[in-house]
Every structure is written in structure tokens, then in C-alpha cells.
Amino acid sequence: MPLENRRFFAAQAWVAGAWARDVLLEIDTAGHWSSVQSHVPVSARQDARVLAGPVLPGLVNAHSHAFQRAMAGLAEQRGAQGDDFWSWRERMYAVALRISAAQLEAVATRLYTELLAGGYTQVCEFHYLHNAPTGAAACDPLEMSMALVRAAQRSGIGMTLLPTLYMRAGFEATVLREQQQRFASSPQRIEALLDGLGHACRDLPKVNLGVAIHSLRAADAQAIQEVSALADARQLPIHIHIAEQEQEVRDCLAHTGLRPMEWLLQHLPLNPRWNLVHATHTTDAELRGVADSGAHVVLCPSTEANLGDGIFDYPTYAAHGGAWSIGSDSHVTRAWAEELRLLEYGQRLQRRQRNIGAGFGASASSAANLFEAALAGGVAASGQPLAGIAVGQRADWVVLDGEAGALCGVPPESALDATVFSSPGAPLLAVYVAGQQVRTAPRDDDGFAQAMRALWAA
């Protein structure tokens, strides 16, 4: 689709980690920034389209399980035996086992539209629903993956699809449990999925591929190393859940003699293409090792809070120069401002201090430092040029409503602070992906309500 406009003017735009004024933005035919100029005179912007509010780059949502959007708010009642991550997981399996490709596409389409409205313009889909629903005939190997791709295309969001290795039920197991059979894969199948998806998506410029390993407990060392080598050979981003739960740490110690992050650091060639999801239960030495390797952590504060995972040691990791990105994981919230707010507030509650994020970065603003870190980390998570409003990067941006309650009367230099820390935040007037404006209101015909009713009636 040709770009409708290639020249835009923003009175205020986030450029190079700070607010710039009177910014002329130009886009090339591939949907990337070709020119970014600040303080342009009136005469230079006569034919540019004027953007109606402060402009921020779009962020990458670095960790998504789209199907879990179908259970947001529906796992919040305590069972007779109590409730923790592992009991939540059993409820999640109930959704994973029954959702069809058509239902997944409908749920993901609604989700991705909501993510766009929340300021995300690229999603990294950590995808392990490879097989048919329980009781159904075997599906085409690409069926579930392509349902997600179609949802991304329908919504307009960019996608990094991560076919995920999942082979066993735990450290002591050699096979999957019955309710995990839908996730079954192998290094050979992951390679075949990459080949098939590469062919199927070759003409979709906003879709790219990576790989994922579900967790250390879900695959043996040889399989994990094979997928790591596959990612290296193809220069793909690689993601893994790691050290999310204390029980996972205990089980890993019992089985391998090492903590999960220790095992990863000792057995795999971590590099900047690695994205370590959660890393909640880690030591100072482990966080230093991750930072030194150049690998990235992916933080999902709303899901980590919802599941009772714990609080990531952000100050220690940031002090070591660690890089990270942000994700919404199970999608109990679907806006990056909420994730950054919860990340900061968790640190404040734990340390009984204010403005923790302000201590790590170039700015005195917590919001600015957190936003810049998440923006930079999204490049590694997605494997896409999404480092912000700069020449050569993909032209993804959002326009804030400067007259909304959260921003009305706020000095321009505090607009990002208010976006993150004044809730409810300012709605977005517009969202652009690769230079094209995309829809941020759900469609009545997206099939979401019908899919939800069918799933929960079963």
C-alpha cells in the first residue's frame, strides 16, 4: 500500500531521548524515516501534515501469548486449594487446549488492536500452540501460526513470530503431560516451521521471524543447544522464559546443580540477540553475567504481579548496564504506560524510595529513562529497526491527546512523565506503523465476542 503522506510536522516530538520542538518528519517509500529535523521554520513545513499532539515513538511489546487474552480477568477467584502460578497454569491449559485457529485469530485481532491503542506498534508473539485442539484432527503445521499472522495483518501491527520449542513436562520428565500435547515440538519441527513461515510471509514487510525456547524445564540441554545454534545460523532473535518462579529455581538446582540463570550462562553463548523473559529470581552475579553478555531481559510487570512471581531486581541490573525490553505477556493490561508505571512502583514499594528509574539513564526523569531503555531493548527483541524517531528506523509513532485530562495544562517537558504517572493516561489520537495510520478502535465484526462465548461455554 503506498504511503498517503511522506511529510509530517509535530510541534513536539520525542527525538534522541528528549522532547524536540517544531519537528519536520519525512518518510521514504519503504516506511522508514528519511529525515528528522527540529526547530524548522514555518516556511519549511508548509506542505506537511500537522500532527495534533505530542508525538512518541511506538514501542515493541516484547512478550505476548495472544491466546491468554481470552482469560484476562477470568482467573481471579481463589480455588479451594489456594492459588498460585501453578494453579493458574492449569486454568491456562484449559484455554490452550480448546481454542481453535479461527478463535485464536479473532482473539488475537482484538488483542493487537488493543495493543496499538496502548502505544505498541510491534508484538513479539511467543507461540507454542503448534498442534490441533484436543480431540480435533491434526492441523496443517502452519495453521495456528498463520492465524496469528492474519490477526497482525488485519490489525496493522508489526509482528515478530517466535515458534517455540516445548518437549517435556519438567526437569525430571522426558515427555509432555496429556494437557501439554498441543505444545509438542522439536528442534527439527521448529526449523521446518521457520522454513514454512518464511515462505508464507515473504511478501509481508511487517512480519519477521525469531525462535523461542519455552523454558529450561520444557526441553533437554541438547535440544536447547540445537535451537540456539539454529538462531545463530540464521541470525534470529531468540527468547526464553527463565527464573520466573522460585519453584523453578529449586527444581533446576535439584536437577542440574545450578540455578536457571547460572545454567544458561554456562551452557549457551548468550549474545545481544538473546531475550530472557522475566529473570525474576536472580542473583547479583547472574545479572552481571547477563549484562556482560549483551543479552536482554524482557520484563512483564503486570503479569509478574498478577501471577505473584515476584519483583525483578531492577536497580542491580541497571547498575550493571543491563539492557531490557517490556512486554504484556498474559495481557491483563495492554498499554506500555501501565507496564512502566508498575515497574517503577514495584521498585518504590520494595525500597521505600521515589524515582528509582531516574537513577539509571541520562535523564532526571524516571519515565524518560524507562521509556528509552524499553525503546532500545525492543530492537533486540524484535530484530527490527524500531529504535525511535531517527533516520533509518521504521516510521512507527503515536500521537498523544495533549488536551486530555492527564496532559491538559502540563508543561511540555513533563508530557512523558504525566503519560506514565498520571492515570488514566491520555488516549492516543492516532497510531502509525511504517508510516501508515492504523485503526485503534475494535471492529464489531472481528469475531472476538463470539470466540469468547464459545470458549467459555465449552
What confidence tier does 210 reach under pLDDT thresholds 50, 70, 90?
Answer: very high
Q: Which helix (H) or strand (E) holds 19?
A: strand 18-27
pLDDT at 4: 64
Alpha-carbon radius of gyration of the chain: 21
Torsion angles phi and psi, residue 38, rounded to 5: -100, 160
Q: Which helix (H) or strand (E) holds 458?
A: none
Q: Is the dihedral of CA 116, 341, 280, 247 positive or negative?
A: negative
To the question of pTM greater than 0.95 for the whole model, the response is yes
**Annotated active-site positions, please?**
278, 329
Residue-wise pLDDT for 154-192, tens only, equals 999 999 999 999 999 999 999 999 889 999 999 999 999
Cα dist from 438 to 168, 327, 432, whole Å: 40, 21, 6
Considering the chain, tell me which residue range(s) the CATH 3.20.20.140 domain(s) occupy.
59-382
- Residue 198 pLDDT more than 90? yes
pLDDT at 298: 98
CATH number belonging to domain 59-382: 3.20.20.140
- Residue 84 pLDDT more than 90? no
Residue-wise pLDDT for 318-327, tens only, equals 999 999 999 9
Considering the chain, tell me which residue range(s) the CATH 2.30.40.10 domain(s) occupy.
7-57+393-438
Residue-wise pLDDT for 63-73, tens only, equals 999 999 999 99
For the chain, what is the mean pLDDT? Answer: 96
List b or e across 384-402, with b for residues whose CB sees 16 or more CB atoms inside 10 angstroms: bebbbbeeebbbbbbbbbb
- Residue 120 pLDDT more than 50? yes
Of the ranges 16-30, 130-144, 442-456, the best mean pLDDT one: 16-30
pLDDT at 1: 46
Length of the chain: 458
Fold of 7-57+393-438: Urease, subunit C; domain 1 (2.30.40)
Could you check whether the bond before residue 427 is cis, i.e. omega within 30 degrees of 0? no
- Residue 202 pLDDT more than 90? yes
pLDDT at 76: 85
